[in-house]
A = this chain, B = another copy of it.
């Protein structure tokens, strides 16, 4: 049987590689970067969310610096992408799937870690989201782009739902493995469905009358 710690570790490492590939690839597409820039942005995408979560929780030194497997996974993913960018860029759907995997894994492992370190249920949901979207947000900010979580295809929402499932099941005392699996699959599904059919969260009502006043 898979233990809870091992489950979180495996989700985290798989998410790290997936996010490093996605982060490095979108960095390459948006701007002209050298090797160092690609490694930095891949690593930031992959480890930024978890590092912020751990610093906020006081789970320090954060995993990304105390456990060599996290930076190794992130640098591996970014390095692969640096050399294989030409081929990976053709695989847009595959890339979105990678990103959805990272999103689902991180939302669930992030919420679980937050609960384990004493966050409130509401706080654990927010930290699950932060783990999932934080790294990509910092990458977008470093590229002077408005972070895609603010407007894109239920991106943050899918992380929110995944984290929420984990926290609610934990509150009801359920075993960890099944809810975690359901939560990961739900988050990935929402993200992919929203991407495929361009579903977005509702916009601000009557916004035009406001922006007109600006």
Residues of A participating in the B interface, judged by any CB pair closer than 8 Å: 28-38, 40-41, 43, 51, 54-62, 64-68, 71-72, 82-83, 85-86, 89-90, 114, 117-124, 126-127, 137, 141-147, 149-151, 154-157, 160, 200-207, 209-211, 213-214
A157-B36, A201-B34, A203-B32 in contact; A61/B65 too (CB < 8 A)? Answer: no
Shortest A195–chain B CB gap in Å is 15
Cβ contacts under 8 Å, A210 to chain B: 28-29, 85-86, 89
Cβ contacts under 8 Å, A213 to chain B: 29, 89-90
Cβ contacts under 8 Å, A154 to chain B: 36
Provide the bound-state CA to CA distance between A121 and B142, in Å: 26
CB pairs A–B below 8 angstroms (17 shown): A28-B207, A34-B202, A34-B203, A36-B149, A36-B154, A37-B151, A41-B150, A54-B56, A56-B65, A61-B114, A61-B123, A65-B120, A68-B122, A85-B205, A85-B210, A90-B213, A141-B141
